[in-house]
């Protein structure tokens, strides 16, 4: 465990030294600022309409905030793939890994350390961004979404799913090939998710099955759906009032499946990397 933590700390130090951390924090701050400004302008405009009901106003604020969460969810997937695909593959191709892989521990320590370090790093970043836009929106509208903590954690888990896939791929593939595979898998889940949404809305079951199958293959989109469903008012979900509405969100079983999925894929990454010639 101590060795895993040393490797995990190394990923944090790398992010700091390579200026990834400060750049990401600076740009994240810009994102939060821009989002808050946009909310302010929209809300100022909305308040001009006197006859709008409180429920509708609240739903409007919620939709604005959900747009922000959606952007963060999308960004977190991109960041998860970009940071994870090269973390093993890059060190294998430059031979940097050799001096680490001869140390007195299993090779899996390198995999688990990198997985833990990146997952923790990206989760902290997602939590900061989500806290930023939630706070900005709250200051202007006094609106707080329901199940906020659960929603943010699900967005973090979505990033962890992509990091896990990126690390597994990197245990075998080159950085570029791994990046292509990871993005395509995410794209598959993304399209599948929309197919399921459309299938559900028009009552066409085969589309729903396609969606479920894609969620089983890569559960990232399903996690976003769970997050979105939880953070929106029930009426918005059931009437499908926004693009983020979920008439039939994934169940808790999907969450359990995802946790098992992550454990299995991490196990596969450890196994694949242990068998590889370096």
Partner 1 sequence: MSQSAPAIETRDLRKVYGTQVAVDALTLAVEPGEAFGFLGPNGAGKTTSVKMLLGLVRPTSGEARLLGMPIGDHACRQRVGFLPEDFRFHEWLRGYEFLDLHARLYHVSESVRARRIPELLEMVDLADAAQQALGTYSKGMLQRIGLAQALVHDPALVFLDEPTSGLDPLGRRMVRDVIKRLSERGVTVFLNSHLLSEVELTCTRVAFVAHGRVRLVTDPRSVRGQVVQVDIRVGSLDDGLLAGLHQWSGQVVVDAQHQTLTLSLPDEQALPEIARWIVGRGVALYQIAPRHVSLEELFVQVVEGEE
Interacting residue ranges for partner 1, rule: CB under 8 A? 3, 6, 10, 13-14, 17-18, 94-96, 98-105, 275, 277-278
> Which is closer to partner 1, CB of 60 or CB of 113?
113
Number of H-type helices and E-type strands within the chain: 12, 0
Which position has the token pair 């370096």? 278
- Helix axis angle, 220-231 relative to 205-217, nearest 10°? 110
Q: How far is the CB of 14 from partner 1 (least distance, A)?
A: 6
> Which is closer to partner 1, CB of 6 or CB of 43?
6
- Cα separation of 87 and 266, whole Å? 14
Pull the structure tokens for residue 247: 């008439």
Backbone angles phi, psi at 250, to 5 degrees: -60, 150
> Which is closer to partner 1, CB of 263 or CB of 278?
278
Q: How far is the CB of 101 from partner 1 (least distance, A)?
A: 6
> Which is closer to partner 1, CB of 46 or CB of 100?
100
Q: How far is the CB of 83 from partner 1 (least distance, A)?
A: 15
DSSP assignments along 165-209, one per residue:
HHHHHHTTS-HHHHHHHHHHHHHHHHHHHHHHHHHHHHT-HHHHH
Q: How far is the CB of 94 from partner 1 (least distance, A)?
A: 5
> Which is closer to partner 1, CB of 95 or CB of 142?
95
Q: How far is the CB of 89 from partner 1 (least distance, A)?
A: 14
């Amino acid at each position: 465990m101590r060795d895993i933590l040393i490797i995990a700390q190394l990923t944090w130090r790398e992010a700091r030294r390579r200026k990834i951390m400060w750049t990401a924090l600076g740009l994240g701050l810009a994102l939060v600022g821009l989002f808050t400004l946009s909310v302010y302008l929209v809300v100022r405009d909305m308040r001009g309409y006197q006859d709008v009901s409180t429920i509708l106003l609240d739903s409007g604020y919620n939709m604005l905030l959900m747009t922000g969460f959606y952007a963060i969810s999308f960004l977190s997937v991109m960041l998860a793939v970009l940071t994870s695909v090269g973390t093993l593959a890059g060190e294998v191709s430059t031979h940097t890994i050799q001096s680490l892989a001869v140390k007195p521990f299993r090779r899996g320590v390198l995999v688990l350390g990198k997985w833990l370090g990146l997952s923790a790093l990206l989760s902290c970043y997602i939590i900061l961004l989500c806290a930023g836009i939630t706070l900005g929106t709250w200051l202007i509208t006094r609106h707080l979404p329901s199940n906020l903590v659960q929603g943010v954690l699900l967005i973090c888990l979505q990033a962890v799913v992509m990091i896990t896939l990126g690390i597994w791929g990197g245990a075998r593939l080159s950085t570029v090939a791994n990046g292509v595979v990871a993005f395509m898998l995410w794209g598959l889940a993304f399209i599948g998710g929309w197919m399921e949404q459309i299938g559900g809305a028009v009552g066409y079951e085969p589309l729903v099955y396609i969606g479920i199958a894609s969620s089983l293959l890569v559960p990232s989109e399903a996690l976003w759906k769970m997050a979105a469903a939880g953070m929106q008012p029930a009426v918005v979900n059931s009437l499908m009032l926004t693009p983020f509405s979920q008439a039939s969100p994934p169940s808790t079983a999907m969450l359990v499946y995802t946790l098992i999925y992550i454990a299995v894929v991490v196990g596969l990454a450890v196994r694949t990397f242990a068998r590889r010639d370096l």
